[in-house]
Amino acid sequence: MRSEKKQKLARLRRCRIRKKVIGTRERPRMSVRFTNENIYVQFIDDGAGVTLASASTLQQPAAERATLAANAASAKKIGAVAAQAAKSKGITSVVFDRSGARYHGKVKALADAAREGGLKF
């Protein structure tokens, strides 16, 4: 399949999911995005259009950042850090937005770590 076609299908999949998954101030949307090298997590209030809290592999200290990558082991660590960042802002319940990725591997590891950190999905 051509790369343009794959990108278009991924964009359509994200839009279709985004129509259904909406975050509020009380229950923000936990948006997860994986690139080839990094992991990004944001807690977003869609009503106001603001990011309430965030965590990523880039926000870690330099010594720890060298060992983190976009894999399941790092996803567990970032999930725990994201849960801690959300708890510090008073967020306990979230709507999970996997950004079109399938719920297995990295995505599942991150979600499980966030649940263990005290977030409710």
Residue 106 domain-assigned (yes or no): yes
CATH at 112:
3.30.420.100
Residues 6 or more apart whose CB falls under 8 angstroms from that of 93 comprise 26, 27, 119, 120, 121
Would residue 121 count as lying in a domain?
no
Q: Which pLDDT score, from 0 to 100, does residue 99 have? A: 87
Write out the residue range of the structural domain in which residue 51 sits: 3-116
Q: Would you say residue 104 lies in a domain?
A: yes
Tokens 């399941």 locate to: 72
Q: Is residue 19 domain-resident?
A: yes
Per the structure, how many domains does the chain have?
1
The CB-side HSE value for 17 (13 A sphere, CA atoms) comes to 18
Q: What is the pLDDT of residue 18?
A: 86
Confidence of residue 94 (pLDDT cuts 50, 70, 90): very high
